[in-house]
Structure 1
Amino acid sequence: MKRNRKVKILATLGPASSEEAMIQKLHEAGADLFRINMSHASHEVMRMLIGRIRAVEARCGRPIGILADLQGPKLRVGKFADGKVELKVGQTFTLDSNETPGDNARVYLPHPEILEAVKPGHRLLIDDGKLHLEAVETDGKRIVCKVISGTKISDRKGVSLPDTLLGVGALTDKDRADLDAVLATDEVDWVALSFIQRPEDLAEVRKVARGRVGLMSKIEKPQAIERIDEIIELSDALMVARGDLGVEMPLESVPGLQKQLIRACRRAGKPVVVATQMLESMISAPVPTRAEVSDVATAVFEGADAVMLSAESASGDYPVEAVATMASVASTVERDPHYSGIIYAQRPQPEATGADAISLAARQIAETLKLTAIVCYTSSGTTGLRAARERPQVPILALSPIIQTARRLSVVWGLHCVVTSDATDLDDMVNRACRIVSAEGFGKPGDRVIISAGVPLGTPGATNMLRIAYIGSDGLSGI
């Protein structure tokens, strides 16, 4: 299944898209990998969805990635005696450790770590920022606040703390149980970590996962922005989770942060996903707004590896249409005459490694000679990531003998992944590459391709060779 675009589409599965037939329709419409939201999916539902995705993968013959998104610490207030209360701007309102149902003067906060960490002057945003409080007095057991804006609060509303660094990690007991269940399936390719604050938050997951899944850090807190370079270094990928990021930071700062994060990931050669409300209106409408189309286009112009659908594909009325719309917008943007210039202007300098030098040379040769495709053999996935980092104008085919590598690379910009056994010698390497380029619809007899590989063949991390080859009349090398 050849895609006519380089940016990837990550679609969330849910009540509207849990049946195997619908998953196949979403894949055919353009979804390259699927997200299972562990905030809503039980372990049984997760295993069921994984089985259905793998059945679709087997029928379609394409590697399909699976992302399990851990819930992370959900911070919420307690309950009120009447379910909700009305507040007044300027009044004081207290959050405390008293489990008694709340009223218009106080409410229980079942998070001692917040009571201990918040300092006077810190902001507390309730219910996605609809209620804005400012701490005026704290003693470790209660937070006396002033109501700055908003007047309503009700049971179990979420609490955001843009100014407070909490002393707890990013994993809850639920997350640990979910992570164990995810790893036990041996079929999940990525795990997304919610509410990352600092690079240390990745340590526990890295220790448990032991390389069995890629770690995708969701950037949705100001504290993460302050240490973003360290977080990128320790992550395998990033997600720009604009929903919570837009609650804890000024909305007008989010577009600039999105650009900053995409470019930082491109420099590091790490995949980056742009998420949240990209086609929000398509939850209930068959077409998006013009602003949403522009939003998707901006992420594509910036060179994001993937764009994500949440409720649009999980619980909306038009999941297939949402995926098809996103695919159409992406492919149209990539044909825009300004696209290549914008991508080229943002191209990072290669690092001083053999793999980077080979990838740079492959891209330059392919574009100078107008070759049909770049073919890279990759076992660990590193060569594929380096080839994509260059953002070449020609297609990239990533050939790997390891299905898990091909699935994990399904989130990476421009990579068309094919599972194939290792080449036995140099002639087999070239012939196999030419045959696959032809069979996958990327080239025809007479076209030329450039192939990167490592000698000795099959040695991970040893990419050190480039070869230009013609596709012969039989689909094999003409040389």
Structure 2
Amino acid sequence: MTVRPTTKILATMGPASDSPHRIQALISAGATAFRMNFSHGSHEEHAVRFEAVRKVAAEMGRHVPIVSDLQGPKLRVGRLAGGEIALGYGEEVEARLGAEAPEGIIPIPHKELFDALQDGDALMLDDGTLRLSVVKAEAERLTLKVEVPGRLTDKKGINVPGRRLPIAALTEKDEADLAFALEQNTDYVALSFVQTAEDVERAKALIDGRAKVIAKIEKPQAVEEIEAIADAADALMVARGDLGVELPLEQVPLAQRRIVRAARARGKPVIVATQMLQSMVDAPTPTRAEASDTAAAVFLGADAVMLSAESAVGRHPEAAVAIMTRIIRAAASGEDYQAEMERIAEEQRADSPGAAVAVSAAFAAKAIECRAIVASTNTGGTAYTIARLRPAIPIIALTPDPKTARQTALAWGTLPVLTHEQENFEQLSGAAVASAREALSLSDDDRIVLLAGIPTGRTGGTNTLKVIRVGDGS
């Protein structure tokens, strides 16, 4: 079995990538996980994709997690009279509450937007292509001044930088999509347009442990409350599309760094997303800037980087994954990469007994040149705790739970291995050696570190580490 790169690749499913042979090609090229984008496609289409990913992964002997990305409360303009309106610089234009409006007026079918906006607020339309300012805000009417002109067409997105909107992160559509995704046994649920930790808690209450929750950070308000959101979520995503609209562009790299650090400090996976290799939607190779952007995410220690349109509808999905894999490997092979990973890891506190044992395991593995750290885990917590430390050797997540195996595949440097429930620590030690031998082709003189809880089979309570010579078998 080939060990995957330390930083994983999350590829978005779509018409260009959802056939079984394409899924197999993407996994072979380096894709670790797949994203189902519920902003597009029907439940029937997604059901076919779920089945295809599961079948291909089983045939390839891989544990492949699926991320169900909910659309969230995306604000959009209504239907314009004539289908479009030209907005000239400095002009004043009226917006009214409703799905439709007379010619020359922008319809906005979101009462909460009218309730929240105040004079002087900015309104960004069509992913920031158009910018207007609020001259006068009324209950069901806005007078807007055009600051960045252009042509507006039906159903374009609306962003309101700097203003918290009184809307829940889960819409009725999201709840229906969530129920479907859980029926499909999804591994992660990505929650869009999170503003507060309470948004995450509400979603987790509905999910009730059936999947892990990724909080997508795409609003400035979420960045301001990143510590609380990171505490509540199981993972974070730097969703730079809408974040780049609502924040000044020069602030996005700083926000990305802050989000990644917040996740790493808590031992939770973090994904950097949006426009990583955007030019490969059409071109066979990325720009040099895109390659550098992907490498920068690797240098920050991101658990995963994501492909969106590049793999969903792009002309070269396998090439995009293969090139991203090459960039990740090259970045991780740099002479100062591991030193930087360990430097940042040293800033993390051992804030629990399990974390203290994990620190000891990482230290022991480095001191006596072990070949792997084997984390025995039921829920994935032990593997995430080790991954938080970014060790220089592979992390093997040894688990009896197929869902945990898939979920831990998204964590930095982690290779999941499915095993039987072990009755005692001696059997667990034997399983650890067997899994390491199979995954890494070890010799008898090689050593591994086993991290586990005693008694075995209990969730939580990591309290034991053992250094094992592979030839001794246990």
TM superposition score normalised by structure 1: 0.96
User: Which residue in the other structure is 1:247 paired with?
Assistant: 245
Whole-Å Cα distance in 1 between the matches of residues 18 and 151 of structure 2?
36
Whole-Å Cα distance in 2 between the matches of residues 216 and 164 of structure 1?
23
Q: Mapping of 1:148-167 within 5 angstroms?
A: 148-167=147-166
Percent identical pairs in the alignment equals: 42
Whole-Å Cα distance in 1 between the matches of residues 49 and 99 of structure 2?
39
User: Which residue in the other structure is 1:335 paired with?
Assistant: 333
Whole-Å Cα distance in 2 between the matches of residues 211 and 322 of structure 1?
33
Residue type of the partner of 1:411?
L
User: Which residue in the other structure is 1:115 paired with?
Assistant: 114
8 Å CA contact 2:77–2:157 kept in 1: the answer is: yes
Whole-Å Cα distance in 2 between the matches of residues 60 and 51 of structure 1?
14
8 Å CA contact 1:430–1:451 kept in 2: the answer is: yes
8 Å CA contact 1:221–1:245 kept in 2: the answer is: yes
Residue type of the partner of 1:383?
T
1:45–1:143 CA distance, 2 compared to 1 (3 A)? same
Whole-Å Cα distance in 1 between the matches of residues 296 and 205 of structure 2?
36
The yes-or-no answer on 1:312 pairing with 2:310 is yes
- Farther-moved stretch of structure 1 (442-451 vs 27-36): 442-451
| Cα deviations by residue, 1:91-118 (Å, 9 ceiling, x for unpaired) | 21121125553433x2211111111111
- Farther-moved stretch of structure 1 (270-279 vs 417-426): 417-426
Whole-Å Cα distance in 1 between the matches of residues 94 and 412 of structure 2?
48
Whole-Å Cα distance in 1 between the matches of residues 384 and 27 of structure 2?
23
8 Å CA contact 1:372–1:442 kept in 2: the answer is: no
Whole-Å Cα distance in 2 between the matches of residues 92 and 307 of structure 1?
42
1:468–1:98 CA distance, 2 compared to 1 (3 A)? closer
User: Which residue in the other structure is 2:371 paired with?
Assistant: 372
Residue type of the partner of 1:5?
P
- Farther-moved stretch of structure 1 (346-355 vs 308-317): 346-355
- Farther-moved stretch of structure 1 (402-411 vs 343-352): 343-352
Whole-Å Cα distance in 2 between the matches of residues 154 and 47 of structure 1?
32
1:89–1:465 CA distance, 2 compared to 1 (3 A)? same
User: Which residue in the other structure is 1:45 paired with?
Assistant: 45
Q: Mapping of 1:274-313 within 5 angstroms?
A: 274-313=272-311
Instruction: State the shift of 1:152 in Å.
Output: 2.2
- Farther-moved stretch of structure 1 (382-391 vs 77-86): 77-86
8 Å CA contact 2:26–2:318 kept in 1: the answer is: yes
Whole-Å Cα distance in 1 between the matches of residues 473 and 406 of structure 2?
31
8 Å CA contact 2:400–2:418 kept in 1: the answer is: yes
User: Which residue in the other structure is 2:142 paired with?
Assistant: 143
| Cα deviations by residue, 1:84-140 (Å, 9 ceiling, x for unpaired) | 222222221121125553433x22111111111111111100111111111121122
8 Å CA contact 1:199–1:234 kept in 2: the answer is: yes
Secondary structure at 2:5 match in 1:
coil
8 Å CA contact 1:373–1:442 kept in 2: the answer is: no
Instruction: State the shift of 1:478 in Å.
Output: 4.8
Aligned partner (choices 208, 222, 226) of residue 210 of structure 1: 208
Whole-Å Cα distance in 2 between the matches of residues 350 and 442 of structure 1?
34
Residue type of the partner of 1:196?
V
Q: Mapping of 1:360-399 within 5 angstroms?
A: 360-399=359-398
| Cα deviations by residue, 1:282-303 (Å, 9 ceiling, x for unpaired) | 1111111111110000000110
Residue type of the partner of 1:265?
A
Whole-Å Cα distance in 1 between the matches of residues 243 and 381 of structure 2?
30
User: Which residue in the other structure is 1:326 paired with?
Assistant: 324
Residue type of the partner of 1:177?
A
Residue type of the partner of 2:49?
L
| Cα deviations by residue, 1:232-287 (Å, 9 ceiling, x for unpaired) | 11111010000111011111111111111111110011110000010111111111
User: Which residue in the other structure is 1:195 paired with?
Assistant: 193
The yes-or-no answer on 1:54 pairing with 2:70 is no
1:154–1:301 CA distance, 2 compared to 1 (3 A)? same
TM superposition score normalised by structure 2: 0.97
Instruction: State the shift of 1:62 in Å.
Output: 1.8
Count of aligned positions: 473
Residue type of the partner of 1:31?
A
Whole-Å Cα distance in 2 between the matches of residues 320 and 102 of structure 1?
47
Secondary structure at 2:82 match in 1:
coil
8 Å CA contact 2:4–2:413 kept in 1: the answer is: no
1:13–1:86 CA distance, 2 compared to 1 (3 A)? same
Secondary structure at 1:399 match in 2:
strand
Instruction: State the shift of 1:204 in Å.
Output: 2.7
Instruction: State the shift of 1:163 in Å.
Output: 2.3
Whole-Å Cα distance in 2 between the matches of residues 178 and 393 of structure 1?
39
Instruction: State the shift of 1:172 in Å.
Output: 1.2
Whole-Å Cα distance in 1 between the matches of residues 103 and 159 of structure 2?
21
User: Which residue in the other structure is 1:414 paired with?
Assistant: 413
Q: Mapping of 1:176-187 within 5 angstroms?
A: 176-185=175-184, 187=185
Whole-Å Cα distance in 1 between the matches of residues 2 and 300 of structure 2?
23
Whole-Å Cα distance in 2 between the matches of residues 102 and 392 of structure 1?
62
Secondary structure at 1:107 match in 2:
strand
Can you give the 5+ residue segments of structure 1 that lack an aligned partner in the other structure? none
Secondary structure at 2:463 match in 1:
strand
The yes-or-no answer on 1:92 pairing with 2:92 is yes
Q: Mapping of 1:219-258 within 5 angstroms?
A: 219-258=217-256
User: Which residue in the other structure is 1:16 paired with?
Assistant: 16
Residue type of the partner of 2:216?
K
| Cα deviations by residue, 1:57-89 (Å, 9 ceiling, x for unpaired) | 211112110000001112111222222222222
Residue type of the partner of 1:50?
F
User: Which residue in the other structure is 2:27 paired with?
Assistant: 27
1:163–1:4 CA distance, 2 compared to 1 (3 A)? closer
Whole-Å Cα distance in 2 between the matches of residues 466 and 87 of structure 1?
66
Secondary structure at 2:144 match in 1:
strand
8 Å CA contact 1:79–1:102 kept in 2: the answer is: no
Residue type of the partner of 1:40?
H
| Cα deviations by residue, 1:198-218 (Å, 9 ceiling, x for unpaired) | 122123321111010101011
Can you give the 5+ residue segments of structure 2 that lack an aligned partner in the other structure? none
1:148–1:371 CA distance, 2 compared to 1 (3 A)? same
Secondary structure at 1:140 match in 2:
coil
The yes-or-no answer on 1:459 pairing with 2:449 is no
Q: CA RMSD in A?
A: 1.3
Whole-Å Cα distance in 2 between the matches of residues 357 and 98 of structure 1?
57
Residue type of the partner of 1:246?
G
